[in-house]
Each structure stands twice: as structure tokens, then as C-alpha cells.
Amino acid sequence: MSTHARHICYFFDYGALSLYSLGCAFTYGAYAMPDRWVNSTLHHYFVPMAAFNSFICTSLSCYSRFPELECPRLSKILRTTAFVYPFIYDNIPLFYRLLFCFGDDCTWNDAIVGYFYHLFFALLTGFLFASHLPERLAPGRFDYIGHSHQLFHICAVVGTHFQLEAILLDVCSRQAWLSAQAPAPAFSATFGTMSLALLGNLLIIGGFTVALLRWPGGSSILQSTVPEMVRAKEQ
């Protein structure tokens, strides 16, 4: 695979993660919203804002690959921010239900435990991604087994498992009540929002692909893909 193709594949990877965050917003807006927030302003604009956030996420993460060699710290900050921001926004309903939702007008069911484990593994995923532990403590010893990139993918999968289980519990226990309180999202609205988000993200990816191919500093970004050991030998 050429270095250009590698970067473009990462662009599509970032776009897919952005659409995943939008899918979470669809589900949380339909089934996980706290009782007190149903039909609130946040409830009505929760999904449209998540669609807008997907554009920010894809733009920031794609752009983060350009200063990767000259400013690796800036690149890491941009990429981490791109994923943390939509995560925090999407999980606002869960944070409220876990931390502040008590009393008769709050749904405290078996799904809460699943959401807790989901958030725990999601935060652990972010920590491993940002910290590069444990390989920073013993360089070379975790290249094949135990690397933070492997560990954060495992944590992400486990967290998604708990997320799905919790959502299914919310669907079973809250669907009837939610249907009586608010109309179900129209298929045209959900499909239309996802289609527009998909189109917008593809346009963003296309724009960054063109910029990558035409950028005068393209030779620098290509060098960023060369392993550190190879560069050290060349020096």
C-alpha cells in the first residue's frame, strides 16, 4: 500500500467513527434520554447537533494527519479532541442518568449497570489511546502483544458490548412509556439525517484527499509514515 493510500484509508476510518457517534446519538435520543428531558429542547436538537459534530470530528481527525511530523503533539491533541468531543456530547444523557437522575421521575433500571461498564471501558479506551501505555514504560517489549493500540481496541469492543446490552434493556423497559410521551422519529428524518451526514463526511474526506495529493508539503507527511527505527538507521 502506498503512503498516500494509507492516509486516505485513515480518512475513511475517521469518517466511519464519526458516523458511529451519530448512530449512538440516534439510539440515545430514542431510548436513553432521561425522563425529565423527553420533549425538551436538547431532546429535539440532540440528533441534528450530533450530525454537525460528525463533521467536526472528521475534519479535525483528518487534518491531524498533516502536522503529524512537524508537530506530533499538536497532531495528537487534535485527533484526541476529535473523538473526545462527540463522545462527551453523545453521552450527556448517560452522565445525567448515572450521576444526577434520582427519584420517581427518573428511570433507574438494569440498563444503568450496562451503561456504567460501557462508559468505564470507553474512558479506558481513551486513556490507552492518549497515554501509549504500557509500551512507553518498556519500549520494544510490547510490540507484538500488549501494545496500547491492541488494548484500546479490545476495550472498545467490550465497551460496545455493554452499550448494546444496556440499550436493549432500555428498549424493553422504556419503549412503551417513551412512545406515549413523544412521537417516534420518522423514518424519513432518521434516514435523511444519516444520508446527509454520510454525504457531508464523504465530501470532507474527498476534500482532504485532494489536499493531501496537492499539498506542497506532501513529502513531509509521507515521511511521517516511515518507522522510527528505519529513520534512525538512515541517519
What's the sign of the alpha-carbon dihedral 72, 120, 32, 105? negative
- If phi > 0 it is left, if psi is from -120 to 50 it is alpha, else beta; for residue 140 that is left
pLDDT for the residue 23: 96
SS3 content of the chain, % helix, strand, coil (to 5): 75, 0, 25
pLDDT for the residue 217: 57
Do 119 and 72 lie in one domain? The reply is: no
* Euclidean distance between CA atoms 85 and 113, whole angstroms: 23
Strands (E) across 23-170 are located at none
Judge whether 21 and 50 are in contact, CB under 8 Å.
yes
State yes or no: 149 annotated in a binding site: yes
Do 82 and 197 lie in one domain? The reply is: yes
* Euclidean distance between CA atoms 91 and 25, whole angstroms: 8
What total of structural domains would you count in the chain?
Answer: 2
Mean pLDDT of successive 10-residue stretches along the chain, which has 235 residues: 89 97 96 92 95 97 91 92 95 93 75 96 93 91 92 96 96 89 82 96 97 70 47 39
Do 14 and 56 lie in one domain? The reply is: yes
Do 29 and 83 lie in one domain? The reply is: yes
Which residue range is the domain that position 26 belongs to?
1-108+186-235
* Euclidean distance between CA atoms 5 and 7, whole angstroms: 5
pTM for the model stands at 0.86
* Euclidean distance between CA atoms 21 and 18, whole angstroms: 5
pLDDT for the residue 218: 53
Do 102 and 127 lie in one domain? The reply is: no
